[in-house]
Amino acid sequence: MKNKYLYFSLLPAALTATVMIYLLRTGVQGPPRTIEQFSLVARPPRIRPDYAGIVIPANIAPPNFMVAEDGLQYCVRIHAKKGKQVEVNSRSAKILIPTGRWSRLLKANRGQQLSFDILVRDKTGRWNRYEPIKNTIASEDIDDYLVYRRIHPAYGAWKKIGIYQRDLRTFDESMILDSRYFSEGCLNCHAFCNNKTDKMLIGIRSSDYGSSALLIRDSKVEKIGTKFGYTSWHPSGRLAVYSVNRVAQFFHSAAGEVRDVIDLNSLLACYMIDSEEVKTVPAFSKKDRLETYPAWSADGKYLYFCSAPMTWSSYEIIPPNYNQIKYDLMRISYNIEKDKWGELETVLSSVDTGLSILLPRISPDAQWLIFCMCDYGCFPVYRKNSDLYIMDLKAAEQTRRYQYRRLDINSDKSESWHSFSSNSRWIAFSSKRDSDPFTRTYLAYIDDKGHIHKPFVLPQKDPTHYDACLWTYSLPELVIEPVAITKEKLGRVVRGAAKIPADLPLTRATPQVGTNAAKHWYTERE
Amino acid sequence: MLGFFPLFYSYLWLYLDLQVIYYSAGMLTRIPVFFLDRQFFQEHTTYPGGLGEYAAAFSAQLFYYSWSAAAVVTAHAALICFCTGRMIEALNLRRFYFARFAGPILLLVFSSQYTYHFNATTTLCIALLFICLYLRLTASNGQKKSLSSQRKDWVRTAVLFIGLSVVLYYIAGGAYLVFATFCAIRWMRLKRWGLAALCIMSALLIPYFVGVLVFSICPDKAFTESWPNSWRMDFEGVSGAAVIAPCAVLCILVVVLSLYRLRLGKAKITPGRRTARGNKSGRNSVTVSGRGDRAAFRWAVDSAILIALAGIAAVLSFNGSRRKLFRIHYYACRKMWPQVLGTAGRDANNHFAINAVNRALYNMGRLGDEMFAYPQHPDALLLSGQDKVLKYWHKFDTQLDLGLVNLAQKNLTECMEVYGKHPLILKRLALISMVKGNTNAARIYLNTLSKTLFDKAWARDYLAAIDADPELTGDKRIAGLRSMALKKDHPSVFMPPELAFLTLLQENSKNKMAFEYLMAWYLLGKNAEKVATNFRRINEFDVKAFPKHYQEAICIYAYSTRKPVYLEGRTIDAEVRRQIEEFSRTFNNLGRNKDAAEKHLLRDYGGTYFFYHLYGFSGVKK
């Protein structure tokens, strides 16, 4: 009998707990109401994150936000030409938009305007209606997934480094691989072929398991016995070009950004996927040049990369003229059928720009080349003045002149790590605006004229997420599908002994990589 | 044995002073961080053992005060003791009833070593509570029943077990194995082989199904979530002895008491019986045949043995040197300088302790007079050469106070990566961001801090101050640190201390700390010439005194080189002159034999720079 009473008492407790969990999950919202009388405020409301005047994809999770206006109650009405208005009533300034209704509204109004009417009830009990926030729903969707590296601003100890994927349609974030799956190590660049995840490469550095690269092909994972730096897949998926960098880290005693890095030596190498062979090409593995940041053109006929003169002989000491190193943008033609490389061309010279040109990325439609430029060096994330620039490649092919312009979306902080969506209409990039030294992922729409619209920070379920977020998000890559391989499987392969041997030809200038895993302390960068 | 836990609590609170564990983060074990935040809670609901970790993280915050830290450990100990007692009763092993104190003594041992396994202890407590609940709900299963009701019981018990198992595994992760193992043993003792087999199978299958299939945890991790060796845990610096010693003590405890019981415990012991209220009684239900005074005698002997063993375990496992370091760290973090010196005494050789002592001496205006009255080592002055050693966070305060703001920032951000978002780190990073005028970063750190239990007021005050004045021009502390901070950039892989001090003085000749540390650096390097030549910098400060160690170094320089030293209007004390003459005389009289002279010089001049200059270590006065 006693037990029966126990069960009976457990039942209401469980019900209460369920209700509380539901309320916690959904947020305590005020009752929907019809607001007949209100005063007009002749300005748009302040909201954060700033989701005003943006172009948004129809397949993105709701941009939950905080209304930065004092009030007792808040009412937000989101409406467009077609479909049912979404209304959110809240007693707090935190506006959590229901995902399902938001999604339906956006999908019914592709290419249309989307308005946010915001009403705030002030302390006197009067409702104030602000000027509506007007956004536009793009006709083209963004890729459904975003893959990024999530780290702390310092990560030299290799403690919490993870590659994560975010379903942009929802707020679901899942881990692809975490450094703790291989006794703490470094997870570096992740590279996809044609915005798909069936072919993927991840660079690994581990004190226990050595340096390697994980090659994912379809559902098969293999370990290549060398670490890949910045990597670019040929669109055919038959080869990948990667950089080999001898990185040295140093520190600024008074600058805003403490950390800095330099490539004391670097080159590019090709990994032939089918023959499991590493090749070097004299044109981009020169002894007197530093080559890095490979990027294939959309048709696979050109490899773009960055290159700077190497004016020192020691691979151990930071050269005194470290702040004079500037990279040029180069390209070289390639015939994949004949496996033949053409002549090297200078696309853009740092002498002409006065800045170091880095991180070239080409849109899948072959139209746009976006790159970073900063005052010196090879790592724009650490340079406050790093900005994004765009070049119309198709126009350049016709005029034979490589003209570029600085994008309007730049801030006074570092912009970097940009990537295109598969339809070339969206870019994701890292920026330190409003959050230096923490990088956040921003998304922006590119119209057919190459105009990039106002960027917006990746929406989070909790709109205050970034206010206390001590993570830094780097290398955002847009992909059309999730990475299907489990972290357990990837971890097992990293830990496993089996690997594809991949040594650089000994004739090359650059020292072997993979031997300095124990000296990782000063060789890190985001 | 009712007196055991008050004694236990008093010892932890008044003697061990466990709050130093909270401040020791980075030195021993990772202190779990806790935030009053929905997201923080939700993160803990995404994997088995997460809720247990959440509870552990909360209990870890209670180590902020010594009395509450002791209360947490005592509560854990009492809970373990109570539940273990129930388990022993259920297994009908009342002869081993004393073993219920094994857990509390183990916790005592860990506490005496100034380490605490928050997650493992909390999840173990949860598992033990589930065991008690299961025992309570299946109490009637041991009784003889008809076949049909036995079948019903079997099903009910099995369903109950599976249900509790799933919930427990979700809450406590790997600690579930304790539950399953105990249940298996219990059913085996009751010869309920089917239920025992079910328990054993569940121990294997539930972590797999719930952990691997539902939560996608790696199979080898699914069984160890929340265990001390879990992949999510990071234990820093816990030696093997720290684990072996308490286990050895416990083994001895069990063996000794078992022998004692076997030899003396001839009294008939009956299993617990139902009381009038229908409860399974505990100790009070035991009937001991024989006279009452004999039972009382046994109780007294039991208590005495228990307290003696606990005392022996506490004494044997007490780690005095660690306690000293933790206390130095605690006082240094709180800028309690006299306490730093008092705790360090004259024999703290650890570099981190020396660093704290020097900072205390500087802040008390005694660095130039007394630094060689304490152990010294050149590497301990700035500790910037050991960047990988991110422990003892007070050393970053030294860097910050000196003006090496970026160096402190670099080290602290690395600390955050290694040790998590501990409030002590976040506070310093927020301060650095405010000093650097980076209010965006400061807000992020302060917003995070405002979700903590004990530092939210500090954070909210600063957030309000930033809102009112983003430059924080009215904040004296910020202004003071800004005035000292390096302005000109000097990029380097590693900035040697001398260069750092000289650069600081070059930019701000009024940086008194940089001056005193520069002089200390030269003293430690036995570079009397640099002391003599840099002494002129003292005029930048409103200081009339002539620090004793500077006088000693200048005397050494003047005597050895016969060169004049301009003393900026000051004079060498007669006592110092006398000391160097007598020191030289003693040394010369002993044939300039350093080994032979050491004993004599140590006795009379141990705390002088003369001794350090000759021997390379402080002749500390004990």
pLDDT in tens, A45-99: 999 999 999 999 999 999 999 999 999 999 999 999 999 999 999 999 999 999 9
0.95 surpassed by complex ipTM: no
pLDDT for residue B279? 43
Stretch A212-232: mean pLDDT: 92
Distances A281 to A123, A278, A509, B151, B508 between C-alpha atoms, Å = 71, 10, 12, 77, 53
* CA-based end-to-end distance of chain A: 63
Give percent of chain A with pLDDT exceeding 70. Answer: 90
pLDDT for residue B150? 72
Max mean pLDDT among A13-17, B280-284, B604-608, B618-622 falls in B604-608
More confident call, B304 vs B79: B79
pLDDT for residue B416? 87
Neighbouring residues of A229: CB distance < 8 A, sequence distance ≥ 6: A188, A189, A203, A242, A243, A244, A245, A266, A292
Return the ∠ at Cα B125 (arms to B120 and B131), rounded to 5°.
Answer: 125
For residue B268, pLDDT over 60 is answered with: no
More confident call, A111 vs A400: A111
A300 token code pair: 């696979």
Of B38, B137, B486, the CB nearest to A3: B137
Residue B488: how many other CB atoms lie within 10 Å: 10
Report the alpha-carbon distance of residue B572 to residue B197 in Å, rounded.
Answer: 87
B395 token code pair: 């050393």
pLDDT for residue A513? 43
Of A157, A468, A491, the CB nearest to B417: A157
Q: Which of A10, A64, A251 to probe by mutation at the B interface, max B CB count within 10 Å?
A: A251
Chain B positions in Cβ-Cβ contact with residue A172 (cut-off 8 Å): none
Distance in Å, alpha carbon of B82 to nearest chain A alpha carbon = 21
Stretch A121-144: mean pLDDT: 95
Chain B positions in Cβ-Cβ contact with residue A436 (cut-off 8 Å): 438, 440-441
Task: Flag the least confident range among B419-423, B481-485, B573-577.
Answer: B419-423
For residue B309, pLDDT over 60 is answered with: yes
Report the alpha-carbon distance of residue B594 to residue B598 in Å, rounded.
Answer: 6
For residue B214, pLDDT over 80 is answered with: yes
- Share the mean pLDDT of chain A: 89
Stretch A407-424: mean pLDDT: 96
Task: Tell me which chain A residue has its CA closest to the CA of residue B438.
Answer: A436
Give DSSP secondary structure letters for A338-379: TTEEEEEEEEE-HHHHSSEEEEEEE-TTS-EEEEEEESSSS-
pLDDT for residue B165? 95
Stretch B148-177: mean pLDDT: 89
B24 token code pair: 């020791």
Cis peptide before A49 (omega within 30 of 0): yes
Q: Is A47 helix (H, G, I), strand (E, B) or coil?
A: strand
Q: Tell me which residue of A292, A284, A233, A286 sits closest to A261, measured CA to CA.
A: A292
Q: Is B104 helix (H, G, I), strand (E, B) or coil?
A: helix
pLDDT for residue B383? 78
For residue A30, pLDDT over 70 is answered with: no
Report the alpha-carbon distance of residue B565 to residue B586 in Å, rounded.
Answer: 25
pLDDT for residue A169? 97
Of B418, B444, B492, the CB nearest to A470: B444
Stretch B111-132: mean pLDDT: 91
Distances B127 to A370, A438, B45 between C-alpha atoms, Å = 56, 40, 17
Return the DSSP state at A446: B
B585 token code pair: 């005389």
Stretch B89-105: mean pLDDT: 84
Report the alpha-carbon distance of residue A429 to residue A409 in Å, rounded.
Answer: 11
For residue B276, pLDDT over 80 is answered with: no
Q: Which of A253, A439, A494 to probe by mutation at the B interface, max B CB count within 10 Å?
A: A253
Of B413, B440, B451, the CB nearest to A153: B413
SS (H, E, C) B551-581: HHHHHHHHHHHCCCCCCCCCCCCHHHHHHHH
Stretch B238-244: mean pLDDT: 54
Give percent of chain A with pLDDT exceeding 90. Answer: 72
Distance in Å, alpha carbon of A95 to nearest chain B alpha carbon = 16
For residue A14, pLDDT over 90 is answered with: no
Do the Cβ atoms of B406 and A255 come within 8 Å? yes
Stretch B535-554: mean pLDDT: 90
Distance in Å, alpha carbon of B99 to nearest chain A alpha carbon = 30
Report the alpha-carbon distance of residue B504 to residue A410 in Å, rounded.
Answer: 35
Neighbouring residues of A423: CB distance < 8 A, sequence distance ≥ 6: A140, A141, A143, A364, A365
Q: Tell me which residue of B404, B399, B440, B396 sits closest to B422, measured CA to CA.
A: B396
Residue with tokens 């039991």: B302
**Do B1 and B8 form a contact (C-beta atoms < 8 A)?**
no
pLDDT for residue A27? 47
Residue type, B110: F
Residue type, B231: W
Give DSSP secondary structure letters for A455-515: PEEPP-SSTTGGGG---EEEEEEEESS---S-HHHHHHHHHSS--B--PPPTTSSSPPSSS
Banded model confidence at residue B2, pLDDT cuts 50, 70, 90: low
Stretch B434-445: mean pLDDT: 95
pLDDT for residue B505? 94
Which residues are registered as beta bridge partners of A332?
A303, A344
Q: What is the pLDDT of residues B514-523, one digit of tens each?
A: 999 999 999 9
Q: What is the pLDDT of residues B327-337, one digit of tens each?
A: 998 999 899 99
- b/e sequence A490-505, b meaning 16+ C-beta within 10 Å: bbebbeeeebbebebe
- Share the mean pLDDT of chain B: 85
pLDDT for residue B211? 84
Task: Tell me which chain B residue has its CA closest to the CA of residue A521.
Answer: B388
Q: What is the pLDDT of residues A255-267, one digit of tens each?
A: 888 999 999 999 9
Give DSSP secondary structure letters for B189-254: HTT-HHHHHHHHHHHHHHIIIIIIIIT---HHHHTTTTSTT-TT--B-S--HHHHHHHHHHHHHHH
Task: Flag the least confident range among A91-95, B244-248, B320-324, B495-499.
Answer: B244-248
Chain B positions in Cβ-Cβ contact with residue A465 (cut-off 8 Å): 39
Residue with tokens 């009342």: B94
Max mean pLDDT among A16-20, A169-173, B240-244, B308-312 falls in A169-173
Q: What is the pLDDT of residues A378-388, one digit of tens each?
A: 999 999 999 99
Task: Tell me which chain A residue has its CA closest to the CA of residue B490.
Answer: A253
Q: Tell me which residue of A478, A428, A447, A480 sits closest to A138, measured CA to CA.
A: A447
Tell me the residue ranges of DSSP E strands in A34-99: 39-41, 47-48, 55-56, 65-67, 73-79, 86-90, 94-95
Of A24, A154, A180, the CB nearest to B410: A154
For residue B470, pLDDT over 80 is answered with: yes
B401 token code pair: 């106070």
Task: Flag the least confident range among A176-180, A507-511, B95-99, B396-400.
Answer: A507-511
**Do A311 and A262 form a contact (C-beta atoms < 8 A)?**
no
Task: Tell me which chain B residue has its CA closest to the CA of residue A183.
Answer: B231
